[in-house]
Structure 1
Amino acid sequence: MLVLSIDTSTPDLVTGVVDTDTGESVDRVLPGTRAHNEQLTPTVQTALADARVTFADLDAVVVGCGPGPFTGLRVGMASAAAFGDALGIPVHGVCSLDAIAHRLPEDTKLVAIDARRREIYWATYRGTERTSGPDVRAPGELELPHDVEVVSVPAHLAEKLPEQLADVAKRDLAPTPASLVAVADLDATPGPLTPLYLRRPDAKEPKSVPRSPAIPQVEI
């Protein structure tokens, strides 16, 4: 099965074509880009060309549903849904933190990514099972089990984690196309794609302003 894999939950733009029969993955990742909207489709096209396949050869799409910022998730999930609809193939949504956790061989782990506003999106795992989260919180406010063996966290946030994690091994990982596919149930009928925003977008509707009594009421 050939699977197109997409994730835009982090500053990295992650795309790739994964062959589930051979385990081969042709990845095209743009680290630290904020131009997900402009770069996603051209990067997917490059990945397909490098894998020597076309859109018509794909059997499914897997997309990371966050948690992540509103704009980033919307770009990735809307594109995945559009590809799936145009090709008539299933689109499977997965938790992006699960895909990162899959890359860590240790048994107990904390996975965190930058949520901005001095906060992180996070979840904890035992083996392949998520034991808490996903949630959003200031890194210093986390209440964690005492047996965490490894942490995946952006380097600039590592020192802000609770003191109990000071001596725990730390890595800075993002989802990969293969890890996204690994945590997807490709045999199941996919449900609707549900983004894990975890908090409201920065943009807010302006509050309504009461009509001034000085403005005459006009009857129509």
Structure 2
Amino acid sequence: MDIPRIFTISESAHRIHNPFTPEKLATLGAALRLAPGTRVLDLGSGSGEMLCTWARDYGISGTGIDMSPLFTEQAKLRAQELGVADRVQFIHGDAAGYVTDEKAGVAACVGATWIGGGVSGTIELLAKSLRAGGIILIGEPYWRQLPPTEEVATGCRAHSISDFLVLPELLASFGTQGYDIVEMVLADQDSWDRYEAAKWLTMRRWLEANPHDDFGKDVRAELTSAPQRYAAYAREYLGWGVFALMAR
């Protein structure tokens, strides 16, 4: 069980696998007013930076589930590094359909809503692990401006324009599912740059270290095309944010 190899290569040096900086992740934790001892479930937890830093800074405990063996191992090492391994655990597994026995005060899926077949299904999944009065966190792309053509949408790595909503429509969709939006923290172009551009150096270093790997042609193709594609499309059209929801 693993995610596609291009991601485990290009994001192997990332601590945060979405367009958030450490500062924005800390802002999100502070905005949620996390009480010490709050239990957090993170489906698609990546390298564990959210759980680990929130355990250090806000005294939470929690569990993260991720399909990548590499990222899961990095998360465990990060927990040890920050001295919070007694409060957070990381499980290599499929987050799709995962429901915890111990209800959480915060149930999160930050950038992996495919686990529930989209935003609506992921909210339904997270709600099964949430205690009464708890908060659901959804990390999801949206259109900063509507792409003028389907070509622009596919340049943003969407299948079509209909894959994402503009921000007002995304916020309205949470209400139609019976949730109040109680907080949000949005990526900006700088945090997008840090997420995307950091991949390029990682891929270049990987190519230098693995000249005979058969996967090298795929990495080379991605490194060659990614900077121009990102600058032309995603940087201008694609937004991303984390939205905090409470049931009405």
TM-score normalised to structure 1 length: 0.29
Q: When you count strand as a share of all residues, which structure comes out higher?
A: 1
TM-score normalised to structure 2 length: 0.26
